[in-house]
């Protein structure tokens, strides 16, 4: 995980409040929010929550330009 946004805003951070993977804003878990899921090269499953479709699209665009290693 070399993307600093993901490392700092990881949804997998135990005990942390849910935050947007892209911008770090708090996510209200009582309402619907977009997520992306992937399985990495090690076979681990990851869910990435976002505060809005706009943040999801920005994060996806950035990953396309600068893919994670």
Write down the pLDDT at residue 28: 86
Mean pLDDT of 41-56: 93
DSSP state letter for 39: E
d(CA 52, CA 48): 12
Mean pLDDT of 10-24: 74
Mean pLDDT (the chain, rounded): 79
Quick check: 39 and 28 in contact, CB under 8 A?
no
End-to-end CA distance of the chain: 7
Mean pLDDT of 34-44: 91
Q: What percent of the chain has pLDDT over 70?
A: 68
Quick check: 19 and 35 in contact, CB under 8 A?
no
Any bridge partners for residue 47, and if so which? 37
pTM of the model: 0.66
DSSP state letter for 43: S
């Amino acid at each position: 995980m070399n993307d600093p946004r993901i490392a700092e805003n990881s949804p997998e951070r135990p005990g942390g409040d849910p935050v947007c993977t892209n911008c770090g804003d708090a996510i209200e878990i009582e309402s619907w929010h977009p997520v992306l899921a992937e399985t990495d090269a090690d076979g681990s499953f990851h869910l990435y929550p976002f505060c809005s479709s706009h943040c999801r699209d920005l994060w996806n665009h950035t990953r396309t330009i600068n893919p994670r290693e």
